[in-house]
């Protein structure tokens, strides 16, 4: 059995694979548990393994590459076009294998462990910032029912809430005042968490010379530079700068037909968190110009 290409549908526990020969004919179907995957591929001759770019895909790419296999990560939206029949795990694996044989199909840019570690820090920080914003909005909304108005800035809640809690004549019920004090403590804890994540991101930035080089660009601070590095890496995966810009989604979206070129707004493809950071960095440069 000479397997040339394998489509691997990964999951949390049960993995499905379909093997094709060099002519694209299906010659194997197999179901594996998570603990059996590496042992199975270790006994196979080197071949091309195609995986859909999803959760844990970078981990499996690194591990299977160590065994001598050529691993392709494919964008999920392009794999869907190759799905035939009803959707099930084997048909998904077959679609992945067939999509990998299309030479023009672009692969997902691989990430190193360091890049994923930095990206994880940003994801945790983003969640904490969102929780703090949500809590601030809830506090502002509840206080507005008692005629106490704060503006939308986080700093207004941070500075004004202690005064509200100390004011015994503002008409707040005693139980609500106590509950509001508990929420203020939670708000301060989230504030401290954001500062801790900022410190960890700054420390990780100092260990990578690529991030230090990015910081020389106007508008690229620690957060923008490290988030850019976590997605783009050292840039060697891209032939030109426009390709990197296209992967982030900051180039014009094209809708052309009949030889007439029509360019619209930015495509907004790729990592939306990085795109948000880039836009905020650009705004800071414009506001200081």
Asked whether residue 108 is domain-assigned, the answer is no
| Same-domain pairing of 192 and 236 | no
Could you tell me what percent of the chain has a pLDDT over 90? 66
Asked whether residue 217 is domain-assigned, the answer is no
| Same-domain pairing of 90 and 143 | no
| Same-domain pairing of 197 and 117 | yes
Number of domains in the chain: 3
| Same-domain pairing of 73 and 140 | no
- Domain range for 255 is 222-288
Asked whether residue 213 is domain-assigned, the answer is no
CATH code of the domain in which 16 resides: 3.30.420.40
| Same-domain pairing of 150 and 120 | yes
Mean of the per-residue pLDDT values for the chain? 92
Domain end residue (candidates: 65, 100, 135) = 100
| Same-domain pairing of 201 and 237 | no
| Same-domain pairing of 277 and 251 | yes
| Same-domain pairing of 141 and 175 | yes
Domain end residue (candidates: 185, 208, 231) = 208
Asked whether residue 242 is domain-assigned, the answer is yes
Asked whether residue 72 is domain-assigned, the answer is yes
DSSP the chain: ----EEEEE--SSEEEEEEE-TTS-EEEEEEEEGGGHHHHHHTSPS-EEEEESSTTHHHHHHHHHHTT-EEEEE-HHHHGGG--SS--HHHHHHHHHHHHT-TTPPPPPP--HHHHHHHHHHHHHHHHHHHHHHHHHHHHHHHHTTT----S-HHHHHHHHHHHHH-TTS---HHHHHHHHHHHHHHHHHHHHHHHHHHHHHHHHHT-HHHHHHTTSTT--HHHHHHHHHHHTTSTT-SSHHHHHHHHT-SEEE--BTTB--EEEE---S-HHHHHHHHHHHHHHHHH-
Cα(36)–Cα(34) distance, integer angstroms = 5
pLDDT of the chain, 289 residues: tens digit per residue: 689 999 999 999 999 999 999 998 999 999 999 999 999 999 999 999 999 998 899 999 999 999 999 999 999 888 988 998 889 999 999 999 999 999 888 888 889 999 999 999 999 999 999 999 999 999 999 999 999 999 988 999 999 999 999 998 888 999 999 999 999 999 999 999 999 999 999 998 888 899 999 999 998 999 999 999 999 988 888 888 888 888 888 889 888 888 888 888 888 888 899 999 999 899 989 988 8
pLDDT one-digit tens code per residue, 36-55? 999 999 999 999 999 999 88
Asked whether residue 105 is domain-assigned, the answer is no
**pLDDT attached to residue 1:** 62
Asked whether residue 18 is domain-assigned, the answer is yes
| Same-domain pairing of 84 and 18 | yes
DSSP 264-283: EEE---S-HHHHHHHHHHHH
| Same-domain pairing of 81 and 143 | no
pLDDT one-digit tens code per residue, 207-216? 889 999 999 9
| Same-domain pairing of 201 and 133 | yes
- pTM of the shown model: 0.86
Asked whether residue 214 is domain-assigned, the answer is no
Tokens of 148: 């106490």
| Same-domain pairing of 16 and 77 | yes
Domain end residue (candidates: 63, 78, 100) = 100
pLDDT one-digit tens code per residue, 250-279? 889 888 888 888 888 888 888 899 999 999
Could you tell me what percent of the chain has a pLDDT over 70? 100
């Amino acid at each position: 059995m000479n397997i040339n290409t394998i489509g691997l549908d990964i999951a949390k526990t049960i993995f499905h694979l379909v093997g094709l020969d060099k002519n694209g004919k299906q010659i194997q179907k197999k179901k594996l548990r998570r603990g059996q995957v590496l042992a199975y591929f270790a006994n196979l001759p080197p071949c091309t393994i195609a995986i859909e770019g999803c959760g844990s895909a970078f981990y499996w790419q690194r591990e299977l590459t160590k065994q001598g296999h050529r691993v392709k990560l494919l964008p999920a939206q392009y794999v869907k076009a190759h799905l035939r029949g009803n959707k099930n795990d084997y048909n998904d694996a077959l679609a992945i294998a067939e999509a990998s044989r299309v030479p023009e199909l672009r692969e997902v840019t691989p990430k190193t462990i360091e890049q994923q570690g930095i990206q994880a820090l940003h994801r945790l920080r983003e969640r904490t910032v969102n929780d703090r914003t949500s809590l601030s909005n809830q506090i502002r909304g509840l206080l507005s029912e008692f005629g106490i108005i704060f503006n939308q800035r986080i700093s207004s809640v941070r500075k004004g809430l202690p005064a509200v809690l100390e004011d015994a004549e503002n008409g707040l019920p005693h139980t609500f005042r106590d509950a509001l004090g508990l929420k203020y403590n939670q708000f301060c804890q989230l504030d401290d968490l954001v500062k801790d994540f900022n410190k960890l991101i700054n420390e990780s930035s100092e260990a990578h010379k690529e991030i230090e080089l990015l910081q020389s660009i106007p508008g690229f601070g620690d957060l923008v530079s490290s988030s850019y590095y976590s997605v783009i890496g050292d840039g060697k995966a891209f032939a030109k700068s426009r390709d990197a810009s296209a992967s982030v989604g900051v180039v014009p979206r094209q809708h052309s037909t009949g030889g007439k070129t029509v360019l619209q707004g930015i495509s907004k493809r790729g990592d939306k968190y990085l795109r948000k950071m880039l836009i905020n960095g650009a705004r800071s440069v414009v506001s200081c110009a």
